[in-house]
Amino acid sequence: MKRSRINSVSKKRQAENVIRKRLRNRLLDERPWCEARIKGCTRVATDLHEIKTRARGGSITDEDNILCLCRYCHAFITLEPAWAESNGFTVHAWATEADIKAAARARAYFAETH
């Protein structure tokens, strides 16, 4: 019996990755500066960060769910989840549209005060 190899990435995910790569290139061209500007920021955006992660039901191809960040800010947000949530950089899986809008206001407030 011939055995076929299992694909490490599903066809659906492969198609999504193509879209994500195009989106990444476009967004980093359109928004080249870090959108977090946390103390220590390197200013140049190199990473995409999902406000509502895919694991929490978010989309990796919805540009309204994506921030362009420098590597330092992205790492800080990842390593400090409570801080990130309180400042609007992440939301929970059960976040409503109102919660997402509140997160956007929190990010705007953070940007004004830092």
pLDDT digits (tens, 9 = 90+) for 12-44: 999 999 999 999 999 999 999 999 999 989 999
SS3 77: helix
Task: State the Rg of the chain over Cα.
Answer: 16
To which H or E segment does residue 47 belong? Answer: strand 47-50
Domain boundaries, the chain: 11-113
Show the tokens assigned to 104.
């956007």
Residue 78 has a CB neighbour count (10 Å cut-off) of 13
Q: How far apart are CA 106 and CA 73, in angstroms?
A: 16
What is the pTM (predicted TM-score) of this model? 0.86
User: pLDDT tens for residues 73-107?
Assistant: 999 999 999 999 999 999 999 999 899 999 999 99
